[in-house]
Structure 1
Amino acid sequence: MTAKQDIDSINSWIAQNAQEFASVAPKTKAAAYYFTVLWSIFDLRHLERSASRDKLVAFCNRLPEELDLDPFEEHWDYFRSRLANDNGPTEHFEPLHGNDGVVAAILHDPIVAQHGTSKDRLTAMIFITYRLRCNLVHGNKYEDGLRDQYDNLMHGAKLTMLILEEAWRPKDTSGSHLTWDQE
């Protein structure tokens, strides 16, 4: 079979057996692919191929207290406005964290209450990507399909790239590698 035939065969199966995914736009399929690949790289490099809330907490605890979040601002603004407004959490906040009170607490102060350190904000963004991954891989999307998920997945993919690049670290003057700005 050619690649096109393989893809058409899979799309046909999905249309017959999982109709909520049958009309997923190609750009959303691509976003899901890129997000999944990038998350897998992060999981391999930083979570011992076994992502869990506890391993993610340990990763975030190792972050410096003060971080440069300029590279993350676009994604912070997107998720902040999606998950909370002046009246509190939006309808997207609870489904993101599910029944996980620990994750809800990690997200609440920086996202909803709008206070915390730069480390708290980056930790919230890392947990947002984790919960996107959980919701995508563990079936929550099966209930709703992938409608309106393109932006979530693309922001999640770009966030994951920044996390992998350790974009919070200041660049050296030559721009050739990342350095810690701590002694």
Structure 2
Amino acid sequence: MAETGDFAAWLLWMPMRPKLAPHLMQQNGQKMLQAIPSNLGILNASTNGARMTTTWLEAHVPGFAELSKAERQAIADFTMLWTLFESRVLATQGSAQKIVEVVEGWEQTSTFGATSYDRELAYFQDRYVANGEMTCHFDGLKLRANDQPALVQAVLDGSNASPRDRLIAMLIVVLRYRNNLFHGIKWQYKLKGQLDNFSHANAVLMRVLEQHGDLHGE
């Protein structure tokens, strides 16, 4: 499902399946055909509503129409992944301080598995460092004083290879993506060209959630 509208429709469709499927399997072909349109009407209505939202965004938000389907999907996925990450991992405290706290906890129990993020770290290093100097993209992160800017820079330029600090730095970069997106800073750049950023951020969030998100708990 490439469009976020398709995803919204899917969310509405899923709760209907347990009720719809047994009923359909027990009926003859004619009744099956009668049952399908009434349920699909709900699905079509949700899809049309989502498409109306997309049409409105394309008409009113600068740069939204130029985003590819992949870019839109990556940004939508990031929004959902970050919300889950902040809830399950950061205890609803989305801050650099909380990131440091939870990573230090993983370090004490030897559960942070920093080497499994090597590909994502390499991407961030390539983006934010060139010829030994920080690139303009690094300034675009808008790191604040409490975002551990010295630590993040040292990890990105390779002068700090501590497994603990590498994971902290990556998660703070992802945090800055979150803040810059939700607070509107990235909209100033019209979001174009952000596919790789959000794709790698999503990979980090998914891996952290798999390891530490208690996805099978209550």
Question: Which band: TM-score by shorter chain?
Answer: 0.7 to 0.9
Matching residue of 1:100: 144
Matching residue of 2:50: 7
Asked if 2 retains the 8 angstrom alpha-carbon contact of 1:110 and 1:121, the reply is yes
Structure 1 residues 149-160: aligned runs within 5 Å: 149-160=194-205
Q: Specify which of 64, 73, 82 is matched with residue 30 of structure 1.
A: 73
Deviates more, 1:68-77 or 1:119-128: 68-77
TM-score under structure 1 normalisation?
A: 0.81
Deviation at 1:152, TM superposition (A): 0.5
Q: For 2:96 and 2:201, locate their aligned partners in 1 and report how far apart those are by CA, in whole Å.
A: 17
Q: For 2:96 and 2:107, locate their aligned partners in 1 and report how far apart those are by CA, in whole Å.
A: 19
TM-score under structure 2 normalisation?
A: 0.69
Q: Specify which of 110, 114, 131 is matched with residue 86 of structure 1.
A: 131
Asked if residue 73 in structure 1 is aligned to residue 118 in structure 2, the reply is yes
Structure of larger gyration radius: 2
Which one has the bigger helix percentage?
2
Tell me, which stretches of 5 or more residues in structure 2 are unaligned? Answer: 1-43, 213-218
Task: Specify whether residues 6 and 23 from structure 1 end up closer, same or farther in structure 2 by C-alpha distance, changes over 3 A only.
Answer: farther
Q: For 2:68 and 2:78, locate their aligned partners in 1 and report how far apart those are by CA, in whole Å.
A: 15
Q: RMSD across aligned C-alpha pairs, in angstroms? A: 2.0
Deviation at 1:45, TM superposition (A): 0.9
Asked if 2 retains the 8 angstrom alpha-carbon contact of 1:88 and 1:113, the reply is no
Question: How many positions carry a matched residue from both structures?
Answer: 166
The alignment partner of 2:107 has SS state of: coil
The alignment partner of 2:136 has SS state of: coil
Q: Specify which of 139, 142, 145 is matched with residue 184 of structure 2.
A: 139
Q: For 1:99 and 1:81, locate their aligned partners in 2 and report how far apart those are by CA, in whole Å.
A: 18
Tell me, which stretches of 5 or more residues in structure 1 are unaligned? Answer: 168-183
Deviates more, 1:44-53 or 1:82-91: 44-53
Percent pairwise identity: 25
Asked if 1 retains the 8 angstrom alpha-carbon contact of 2:115 and 2:163, the reply is no
Deviates more, 1:14-23 or 1:79-88: 14-23
Q: Specify which of 89, 96, 117 is matched with residue 53 of structure 1.
A: 96
Q: For 1:58 and 1:50, locate their aligned partners in 2 and report how far apart those are by CA, in whole Å.
A: 11
Matching residue of 1:180: none
Q: For 1:2 and 1:162, locate their aligned partners in 2 and report how far apart those are by CA, in whole Å.
A: 35
Deviation at 1:75, TM superposition (A): 0.6
Q: Relative contact order (C-alpha < 8 Å, sep 6+): which is higher?
A: 1
Matching residue of 2:20: none
Deviation at 1:40, TM superposition (A): 1.0
User: Would you identify which runs of 4 or more consecutive aligned residues in structure 1 move more than 6 Å?
Assistant: none
Matching residue of 2:210: 165
Task: Specify whether residues 71 and 148 from structure 1 end up closer, same or farther in structure 2 by C-alpha distance, changes over 3 A only.
Answer: same
Q: For 2:116 and 2:96, locate their aligned partners in 1 and report how far apart those are by CA, in whole Å.
A: 24
